[in-house]
């Protein structure tokens, strides 16, 4: 297994191609694992404490070895960088057609450094690379930029597929995102801000190549088995049409939504808490990538008859909102009409901004208004205009505040451009009064629009995830779905599936983080794994596909160690930046305010938080007091070189 | 005989075409409730609800909770008047 890494220095204009050797896959699997290593190496020769918006930051795009091979397990491309909004490790995944076209264009990894003197875009075509003027694209939203490039570049040797940034990225808003083919978003961590700071508006790829596979017949057999397992899973039938919106009713039932800045955990309004999306709005089904056997994507086109608010958006067409888009709109902001939820998804994609941190920033300020903590004068100071309404569920108010943020129009935009935590800090400082109890956040100041308090593993994910509060690093499904079979499989005991005890919740976080790191490094979609066709075992079932593609034949135990190694590198990056145990934490609301409603009322995270965190460190082999990695554990993972760097930075425990 | 209530979401509701219904079952167990439901709705429901390999409730992308929010397994007992919720198990997105 070998692949190609394109290095681009936008300051000098130098572009060079390197071979990614087989040994790199032996150690880092691919995808996010190799992205991480490229960034780690970069910051051995550049200041890790650099300004993430400066030319010394690096932006890496990578595709895992299973992507575009015909395995049918979906594709995720991954971007990796130092996060400008949280100041820590940053990465984000998205599906779609861009990732496989990168491979067909002759590359697997792209590492971008420096800063172009004027707006440019990168064009990759069948092994050739060109940095081109993008002055005509600057100022366009992500979809307009994509459409312009697709039209300009024609259809030879293929249609163009793109990564673009919208106005949020151009304006270096910390929570700006990168948009893939105008509709799939690398939302978290501020990758769009990094590209904006480099004056890089887009990457466009065209290609007619293919992908080498170690054992094509073996992969074909695996793929057939995978397809059969998916076709036999009746639950996937429903998932194909609903996608992650299938979670809406379940979350409503158990009380797992995030309503009005998590003052509640159930949606209000008959429209959004039911299955009406599928009945009224779903118009077309789509495949996300050509290499997916599920095809859960959908598209709407509004004719104005679907709901009361739909007539405002007649003709609007976009992807069906995913669950978290819905959670941020119908939950955090209390929008109660599916047409507005869908519109929120479209405009956040067009502007290129993360709807999690944006919605929780807006809902923070709406909650202050709700409690009478904003006078007319104070609102005028914040918004540079009189009489700004801050009404829950009002799309017009939401859109005004969104523009404030995207275009950096006033103090609200300036204060909150790194998300709710830093926004609340700056606003508290500005007012000389502490409002932090209304900010919802976890590690790094990142926010996430789901109810956490009844779910100890989920809560721990928010505190320890390397990229800041997030579910996709160690998604706590064993606990949330109370899977006793999986608790027995991985721990030989039942407690990981029992919501009432902290026992095995930290362990569960560590094990699932290792699994997810593997999946992200293979480059596949997490939903295939979540729907469990292969028995929920990325280290076993998917490991066989990895072997057929790369020739690297590992035992499940070895692959779990590979996943652990990848997690440890992300941790090491954050340790170099000064993160310790005290940074593995969550906000006051989740920690101390009782869960107000739903199936598990009265729960607070504080009851179990420290116990779970201690157990997590224990399973990781990290020092419980400082939260730092230990030399012994890193050496046992073959990471002596990483341990040396951490020791030099005073970020390693020698025990 | 006891009476138990079943409440359906998403794919389950597509098959049953009702949101909730009640069953009278002779044995106070999930085995009896699952048999009543699959008997009423046929192969599609059987494929969704049962794992033929392990002879247990299908756990792939599905979730069954009692009214206390505890996951139900085939071997679990049921009280008279209990409600079981049949849901898809998906998260994130």
Contacts of B13 in chain A (CB under 8 A): 275
Q: Who among B10, B11, B69 is closest to A254 (CB)?
A: B69
What is residue B54's predicted lDDT score, i.e. its pLDDT? 84
- Model confidence pLDDT, tens digit, residues A592-635: 999 999 999 999 999 999 999 999 999 999 999 999 999 999 99
Residues of chain B with pLDDT under 70: none
Please state whether A127 falls in left (phi above 0), alpha (psi between -120 and 50) or beta.
left
Q: DSSP for A489-558, please give it.
A: HHHSSSGGG-TT--TTHHHHHHHHHHHHHHHHHHT--HHHHHT-TT-S-TTTHHHHHHHHHHS----HHH
Please give, rounded to a whole number of angstroms, the shortest distance from the CA of A498 to a CA of chain B. Answer: 9
CA distance linking residue A622 with residue A633, whole number of Å:
7
Distance of CA A583 to the CA centre of its chain: 20
B 10-69: CB under 8 A from A = 10-11, 13-14, 44, 47-48, 58-63, 65, 68-69
Q: Does B90 touch chain A (CB under 8 A)?
A: yes
Contacts of B70 in chain A (CB under 8 A): 482
What is residue A238's predicted lDDT score, i.e. its pLDDT? 82
Measured CA distances, A533 to A82, A470, A538 (Å): 35, 24, 11
- Does ipTM top 0.90? yes
Q: How is chain B split into domains, by residue range?
A: 2-88
- Model confidence pLDDT, tens digit, residues A450-466: 999 999 999 999 999 99
CB contact under 8 A, B44 and A232: no
Domains of chain A plus CATH, in order, are: 3-206 (3.60.9.10), 222-257+259-439 (1.10.569.10), 456-648 (1.10.599.10)
Measured CA distances, A615 to A418, A457, A610 (Å): 31, 11, 9
**DSSP character at residue A373:** -
Please give, rounded to a whole number of angstroms, the shortest distance from the CA of A55 to a CA of chain B. Answer: 32
Q: Who among A247, A477, A599 is closest to B93 (CB)?
A: A247
What is residue A246's predicted lDDT score, i.e. its pLDDT? 87
- Model confidence pLDDT, tens digit, residues B32-54: 999 999 999 999 999 999 988 88
What is residue A275's predicted lDDT score, i.e. its pLDDT? 80
What is residue A533's predicted lDDT score, i.e. its pLDDT? 67
Beta strand extents in chain B (DSSP E only): 2-8, 20-25, 50-51, 56-57, 62-65, 83-88
Task: Report the top-level CATH class of B2-88.
Answer: alpha beta
What is residue A534's predicted lDDT score, i.e. its pLDDT? 67
Global pTM reads: 0.97
Mean pLDDT by 10 residues, chain A (655 residues): 94 98 97 98 98 98 94 93 98 95 97 98 98 98 98 97 98 98 96 98 97 96 93 84 88 95 95 83 80 89 94 95 95 96 97 98 98 98 97 98 98 98 98 98 96 94 96 89 92 95 97 95 90 77 95 96 98 98 98 95 95 98 98 98 98 92
CA distance linking residue A482 with residue B71, whole number of Å:
6
């Amino acid at each position: 297994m070998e692949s190609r890494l394109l290095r681009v220095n936008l300051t000098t204009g130098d572009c060079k191609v390197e071979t990614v050797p087989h040994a790199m896959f032996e150690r880092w699997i691919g995808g996010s694992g190799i992205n991480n290593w490229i960034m780690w190496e970069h910051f051995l020769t550049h200041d890790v404490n650099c300004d993430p918006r400066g030319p010394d930051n690096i932006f890496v795009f990578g595709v895992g070895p299973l992507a575009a091979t015909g395995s049918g397990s979906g594709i995720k491309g991954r971007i990796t960088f130092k996060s400008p909004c949280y100041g820590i490790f940053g990465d984000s995944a998205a599906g779609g057609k861009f990732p496989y076209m990168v491979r067909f264009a002759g590359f697997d990894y792209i590492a971008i450094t420096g800063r172009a003197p004027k707006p440019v875009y990168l064009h990759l075509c069948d092994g050739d690379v060109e940095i081109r003027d993008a002055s005509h694209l600057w100022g366009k939203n992500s979809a307009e930029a994509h459409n312009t490039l697709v039209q300009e570049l024609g259809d030879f040797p293929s249609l163009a597929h793109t990564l673009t940034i919208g106005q949020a990225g151009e304006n270096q808003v910390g929570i700006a995102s990168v948009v893939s083919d105008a509709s799939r978003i690398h939302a978290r961590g501020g990758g769009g801000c990094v590209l904006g700071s480099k004056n890089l508006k887009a990457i466009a790829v065209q290609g007619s190549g293919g992908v080498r596979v170690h054992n094509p017949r073996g992969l074909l057999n695996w793929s057939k088995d995978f397809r059969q397992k998916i076709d036999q899973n009746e639950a996937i039938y429903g998932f194909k049409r609903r996608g992650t919106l299938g979670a809406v009713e379940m979350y409503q039932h158990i009380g797992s939504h995030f309503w009005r800045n998590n003052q509640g955990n159930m949606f209000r309004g008959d429209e959004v808490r039911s299955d009406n999306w599928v009945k009224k709005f779903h118009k077309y089904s789509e495949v996300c990538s050509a290499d997916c056997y599920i095809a859960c994507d959908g598209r709407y086109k509004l004719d104005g008859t679907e709901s009361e608010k739909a007539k405002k958006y007649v003709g609007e067409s976009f992807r069906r909102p995913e669950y978290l888009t819905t959670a941020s709109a119908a939950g955090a902001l209390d929008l109660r009409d599916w047409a507005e939820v869908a519109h929120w998804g479209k405009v956040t994609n067009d502007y290129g901004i993360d709807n999690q941190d944006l919605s929780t920033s807006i809902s923070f300020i709406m909650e202050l208004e709700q409690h009478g903590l904003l006078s007319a004068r104070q609102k005028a100071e914040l918004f540079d205009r009189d009489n700004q309404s801050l009404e829950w569920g009002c799309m017009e108010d939401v859109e005004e505040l969104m523009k404030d943020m995207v275009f950096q129009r006033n103090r609200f935009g300036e204060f909150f451009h790194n998300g709710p935590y830093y926004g609340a800090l700056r606003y508290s400082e500005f007012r000389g009064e502490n409002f932090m109890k209304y900010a919802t956040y976890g590690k790094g100041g990142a926010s996430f629009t789901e109810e956490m308090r009844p779910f100890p593993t989920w809560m721990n994910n928010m505190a320890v995830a390397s990229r800041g509060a997030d579910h996709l690093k160690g998604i706590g499904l064993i606990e949330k779905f109370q899977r006793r079979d999986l608790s027995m499989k991985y721990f030989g005991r039942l407690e990981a599936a029992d919501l009432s005890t902290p026992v095995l919740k930290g362990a569960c976080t560590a094990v699932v983080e290792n699994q997810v790191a593997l999946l992200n490094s293979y480059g596949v979609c997490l939903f295939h794994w979540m729907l469990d066709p292969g028995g929920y075992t990325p280290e076993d079932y998917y490991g066989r596909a990895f072997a057929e593609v790369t020739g690297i034949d590992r035992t499940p135990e070895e692959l779990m160690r590979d996943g652990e190694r990848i997690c440890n590198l992300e941790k090491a990056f954050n340790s170099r930046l000064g993160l310790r145990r005290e940074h593995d934490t969550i906000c006051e609301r989740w920690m101390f305010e009782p869960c107000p409603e739903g199936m598990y009322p009265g729960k607070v995270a504080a009851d179990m938080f420290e116990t779970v965190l201690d157990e997590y460190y224990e399973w990781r082999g990290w020092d419980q007091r400082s939260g730092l990695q230990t030399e012994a554990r890193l050496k046992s993972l073959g990471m002596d070189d990483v341990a040396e760097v951490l020791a030099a930075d005073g970020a390693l425990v020698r025990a | 005989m006891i009476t138990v209530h079943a409440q359906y979401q998403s794919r389950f509701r597509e098959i049953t075409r009702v949101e909730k219904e009640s069953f009278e079952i002779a044995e106070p167990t999930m085995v009896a409730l699952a048999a009543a439901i699959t008997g009423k709705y046929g192969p599609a429901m059987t494929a969704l609800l049962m794992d033929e390999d392990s002879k247990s409730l299908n756990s792939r992308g599905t979730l069954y909770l009692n009214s206390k929010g505890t996951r139900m397994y085939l071997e679990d007992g049921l009280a008279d008047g209990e409600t079981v919720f049949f849901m898809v198990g998906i998260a994130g997105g």
